[in-house]
Amino acid sequence: MEIREHVELRPHTVFKIGGRARYFCEARTLEDLRDAVHFAREKGLRFFLLGAGSNMLVSDRGFDGLAIKMGLAHCSINGARVEADAGVSMARLTAETIRAGLAGFEWAIGIPGTIGGSVRGNAGCYGTEMKDVLHSVSVFDSEADRIRIFSPRECNFGYRDSIFKKRPSWIVVSAIVHLEPGDPARSQKLVAEFSERRSRTQDIGSRCAGCMFKNVPWGAVDKSSLTKKIPELQKFSRDPVIPAAFLIDRLDLKGIKIRGVAISTRHANYFVNVDNSTAEDVMALVSLVKDRVRRSYGILLDEEVQFIA
């Protein structure tokens, strides 16, 4: 495996923002992954895993360590048991499971990430999350230098959260997904519906990182005083969260721009790199939105996008 120096990270992210990694490699096998971690350890470097780069913002100063691109991308299907390496894309797994006559992964079609990044962030949409379809997760514990198998319960999944966010030394290497036998024609119809819904409401194909902020769990706010202050919030009262997009949109912030980055005019929680944005531009817009939301609603938004520095 080749370890390269001073590699631009920008092309490896959907946002197309950020500086260089001091070192960069692509791990295509478990052996590569081990070697990469050993290399980092010997040099006293930090490392991070790069999936599809669809949920990250890389610092303009880059990353002074080793960026490991997840290149493990094998996928096998036996009956209803699907095993996918961490580097398999969500869209590919959707397509392959439908082709194999399985149902239950259609929702993932529009998530432009990998299995590894999606397990770590418990990615989800349209009412389903990774935790709902996982049977187990295989993890390289880079401190103990061994593979460990986690049940979904052991992954401590929560809303866009898992144990892996607290343990960066644990690298997701593969996952077993359990699906149901289905009807490919019905699954294709669902995929078409989900895709149509996304293209109507989101900036598909643009330079962004998905939702900038997590939605706000009702448990984190004083529900009765907030709904008294903002009666429109009643419509979300049966949902577990208040959409951050609603809170931002209500402050008329759609379309607002700081230098190269703008809040999407279609989806108020999408920040789009419209003109050679820097990470600094994005951070300035993040601060502005957080400040306005905090002052207007008393809510502190929490970033969903991972900052790499």
Ligand X SMILES: Cc1cc2nc3c(=O)[nH]c(=O)nc-3n(C[C@H](O)[C@H](O)[C@H](O)COP(=O)(O)OP(=O)(O)OC[C@H]3O[C@@H](n4cnc5c(N)ncnc54)[C@H](O)[C@@H]3O)c2cc1C
Contact residues toward ligand X (CB under 6 A) are 14, 48-56, 70, 86, 111-114, 116-118, 120-121, 123-125, 164, 171-172, 202, 208-210, 306
For ligand X, the closer CB: 88 or 98:
88
In whole angstroms, the minimum distance from the beta carbon of 202 to ligand X comes to: 6
For ligand X, the closer CB: 19 or 121:
121
- CA dist 5 and 110 (Å) reads 33
- CA dist 37 and 176 (Å) reads 24
In whole angstroms, the minimum distance from the beta carbon of 107 to ligand X comes to: 8
For ligand X, the closer CB: 14 or 262:
14
- Half-sphere exposure for 260 (CA within 13 Å, toward CB): 15
In whole angstroms, the minimum distance from the beta carbon of 294 to ligand X comes to: 24
- Going by C-alpha positions, the residue among 172, 77, 79, 72 that lies closest to residue 130 is 172
For ligand X, the closer CB: 24 or 164:
164
In whole angstroms, the minimum distance from the beta carbon of 98 to ligand X comes to: 18
For ligand X, the closer CB: 164 or 218:
164
In whole angstroms, the minimum distance from the beta carbon of 195 to ligand X comes to: 12
Per-residue DSSP letter, 113: S
Residue 175 in contact with residue 83, Cβ under 8 Å? yes
Cα-based angle 38, 43, 49 (whole degrees, multiple of 5) = 55
For ligand X, the closer CB: 96 or 101:
96
Q: Are strands 102-103 and 180-181 parallel, antiparallel or unpaired?
A: antiparallel
- Half-sphere exposure for 104 (CA within 13 Å, toward CB): 16
Q: Specify the amino acid at residue 45.
A: L
For ligand X, the closer CB: 202 or 277:
202
Per-residue DSSP letter, 269: T
In whole angstroms, the minimum distance from the beta carbon of 26 to ligand X comes to: 13
- CA dist 177 and 77 (Å) reads 10
Per-residue DSSP letter, 43: H
For ligand X, the closer CB: 90 or 233:
90
Residue 286 in contact with residue 294, Cβ under 8 Å? no
For ligand X, the closer CB: 49 or 258:
49
In whole angstroms, the minimum distance from the beta carbon of 70 to ligand X comes to: 5
In whole angstroms, the minimum distance from the beta carbon of 18 to ligand X comes to: 12
Length of the chain: 309
Q: Specify the amino acid at residue 46.
A: R
In whole angstroms, the minimum distance from the beta carbon of 94 to ligand X comes to: 13
Residue 175 in contact with residue 149, Cβ under 8 Å? no
- CA dist 150 and 40 (Å) reads 25
Q: Are strands 56-58 and 306-308 parallel, antiparallel or unpaired?
A: parallel
